[in-house]
Every structure is written in structure tokens, then in C-alpha cells.
Copies of this chain bind each other. A is one copy, B any other.
Amino acid sequence: MLPVASTPVPARSAVPTARIEAFLAEERRETPFLVVDCDVVLDRYAELRAAVPSAAIFYAVKANPAPELLDALVHAGSSFDVASPGEIDLALAAGADPAKLSYGNTIKKRTDIARAHELGVRMFAFDAADELAKLTAEAPGSTVFCRVLCDGAGSDWPLSRKFGCDVDQAVELCLRAIDAGHQVGVCFHVGSQQKQPDAYRVAIELVAEQIAAPLAAAGGRLSHLNVGGGFPGTYLTTGPATAVYGAVIERTVVRCFGDDPPVLITEPGRFLAADAGVIETEVVLVARKSLHDEHRWVFLDIGLFGGLAECLGEAIKYPIVTVEGDDGGPKGPVVLAGPTCDSADVLYEEFRYRLPMSLGAGDRLRLLATGAYTTTYAAVAFNGFPPLRTYHLPPSRRA
């Protein structure tokens, strides 16, 4: 079982772990399915704790909200970033302290804010005057994080302008929030799968110079700084060691804020969950489009609508290994596609994975580092296919 992609699987990849290998060896389960080893999540949590010791970790529940995974992180002492009433309920059900939840979605219904506040949530994000007004009305006295725009350079999934406002508006909104009785923080997101640690330096400096300083000059204080997520998973390409990210963040905060830094927060999702998961899938068909076609189309029983939405635009390239169908002979380029009748359901066409020429229908592949942004993206029943089946192996130890 060797990696078949042209780029080698990076050294950090811990999957399939021995526990996942054992699980996969138990029986031949119906595909497609995802298996997640919560030990890996705890390993990554410890790695990030060590790299950024000043920061509290708020796990972004949206990356993978499985109860076993949330339970493991609650016991490890994690805080949680939640995006909706549903995620608040999941975190609380796993035993999280509501005071350790941050309602990080800048787009919230008034009734959902009130409900969160009622449940004890005291941290909220916003990026617009109307949202701040809702927070002041429904969550008085809470800590509110103004999200500022970052450009996302260096990331595999640069964020659009959907979230955040510019620094001038941020200063005005923060002053208004302080007047309304809130503690204020700033949050940003440097882009998902960010491979350049320097992106955090640029963003922290922006906050210090163009928000915290004018705020202080006006008599306000930035009490919290949430540097967001973006730390990479171990896909075909990944970033430098986590310690490098940590050093950049810690050094920049000290340099910018000296002895009186704001409370520091990180918000990893992908980084904690991605490497913990393996998807096993079956080849449904190997086809050629013409009698002399040099490329094979390999159709899997999982696609864009079955959990691999992040293949959209080929943004994320999962390491792929063959389990069956490799006779040791030559490999060749393939287009990889999903099983639905949607013509958009193509996983990789620009980037050509290389798979054994002997691969055929019924053979199985594994997609590594698929623990994040797979389970909940799956469509309810597109083309009549059920959502992704999942297995989460609870931690073998307590953190």
C-alpha cells in the first residue's frame, strides 16, 4: 500500500494510524466510509498547545462535530468556536462549559443570539453595525470580536470578502461596542490551509497598528485577539512545522503588544481533525472516452456531494493510496470523479493522480487526511445516495 500520487506524502502524516489499520482490518465494511482516530486529534491539540503556549485553543466545531471528537477535546481542556445553534447544542452535549464557547459566525439571527446568551455563551463575533446592535440588545456585557478583512495570500483556500470589515470600520465599531458596555476583541482569518506562517505576522501587525493603537488613543482597549485558524492539514502539500507558526505568532504578539497583550486565541479546525481521518472508497468504473483515449476516468463511490466538497476547484489534494488493484505493474494518469449524475461531480481533472493500470471496478482506495470538512458537507440524498457513513474511534487515553 504505497502512495500513488506524484508528490510524496509528507513525513508528518500519521494516518492510517495503527488503530485505524486495525479497524480497517477487522472486516470489509460497505464503502464509502470515514474512520477517524481521536488520538490524532489530541496529538494535534497538544502540538498546537506547545507551539503557541500563550493562546487558548478554540476548536472550530464545523470541521468535524462528531460527539466522540468533541468529548475528547472537552477533556483535553479545549474551548470551542461554534457557528450555529446546532453547534452550540453539540458542544454543550459533549460537556463543554458555555463560557468557553465563542459564537464565531458573524451572521446570526437575533433569536439565535438571545438563545446562546441564555445558555451562557459570552463571546460573539461581528463585522457590521447591525450585527453589533443585535449583540448589544441580546447579549449585553458580552465580549464581542470584530472580524477584519485579511487578503488570504499564501493559503490554498483564500477567503472571499464575505467576512470581515476594513480597519477604519473596525475601529469605529469597536469604540461603539465599548460605549455599549462590551469588552472588545478582534478576529481575523488568514485563509484556510495557510502555508506561510508570515501571514499571521502581517495580520497581527495590522491589528496592532491600525486598530489597537487608534482604539487606545481614543481611550479604548483591545482585550482579546483571535488569530483564527488556517493551520494546514497534511495533504499532498502542507506547511512548515507547527512550531514555526507558533514562534511567529508569539513573537509578533510580544513585539506588538509588549507587557500588556490581549488575551490570545487560536481557532483551529482543519489542523486538529484533518489528519485523523481516512476515507475508504471503492472504484465503481474505469472508463475511457474513446477507443484511443490515453487517460482513464476512475469513478469512485464518493464524490463532491458525498463528502469531498473541498475538492471543488481542486483546492485540497488528499493523499490517495491503493488498497487493492495494484499488481505492481505500471501506473498511469487518471481523472477522478464521483458517482452522481452531476457533471460537476469531478474530483481531480487538472491535477492528474497516477494509479495502477491494473486498477478495476470493485478495487478499494483510501483517501488520507480526510477527517475535516467531509462528514457534514455531504448532501442529504443527492441522486439518492445516502450521506457519508462515519466511525470515530474514541481516544485511547485522557489528555
- A residues whose Cβ falls under 8 Å from a Cβ of B: 60-62, 65, 82-90, 104-110, 127-131, 134, 149, 157-166, 168-169, 172, 282, 284-291, 297, 299, 301, 305, 309, 312, 337, 339-341, 343-346, 349, 360-362, 375-387
Give me 8 other A-B pairs in contact (C-beta within 8 A), A62-B382, A88-B384 excluded. A85-B384, A105-B383, A128-B286, A160-B343, A163-B341, A165-B287, A166-B289, A376-B383
Q: Chain B contacts of A291 at CB under 8 A?
A: 166, 168-169, 172
Contact A384 B169 (CB under 8 A): no
Bound Cα distance from A284 to B106, whole angstroms: 10
Cβ contact of A384, chosen from B62, B309, B361, cutoff 8 A:
B62
Cβ contact of A130, chosen from B65, B287, B340, cutoff 8 A:
B287
Q: Chain B contacts of A289 at CB under 8 A?
A: 127, 149, 161, 164-166, 169
Q: Can you list 18 A-B pairs, Cβ within 8 angstroms, ordered by A?
A: A60-B341, A62-B382, A62-B383, A65-B381, A83-B341, A84-B339, A105-B339, A105-B383, A107-B284, A107-B339, A127-B289, A128-B285, A130-B285, A130-B286, A160-B343, A376-B383, A376-B384, A377-B379
Contact B169 A383 (CB under 8 A): no
Cβ contact of A107, chosen from B158, B285, B349, cutoff 8 A:
B285
Q: Chain B contacts of A169 at CB under 8 A?
A: 288-291
Contact B381 A379 (CB under 8 A): no
Closest B residue to A337 by CB, please name it.
B162
Contact B380 A376 (CB under 8 A): yes
Q: Chain B contacts of A160 at CB under 8 A?
A: 343-344, 346, 349
Contact A131 B285 (CB under 8 A): yes
Q: Chain B contacts of A165 at CB under 8 A?
A: 287-290
Contact A162 B297 (CB under 8 A): yes
Contact B284 A108 (CB under 8 A): yes
Bound Cα distance from A90 to B386, whole angstroms: 13
Known contacts: A105-B341, A289-B165, A305-B377. The answer to whether A86 contacts B360 by CB under 8 A is no
Q: Which 3 pairs from chain A and chain B are nearest by CB?
A: A86-B384, A128-B287, A87-B384
Cβ contact of A378, chosen from B86, B128, B285, B380, cutoff 8 A:
B380
Contact B84 A383 (CB under 8 A): yes
Contact B107 A299 (CB under 8 A): yes
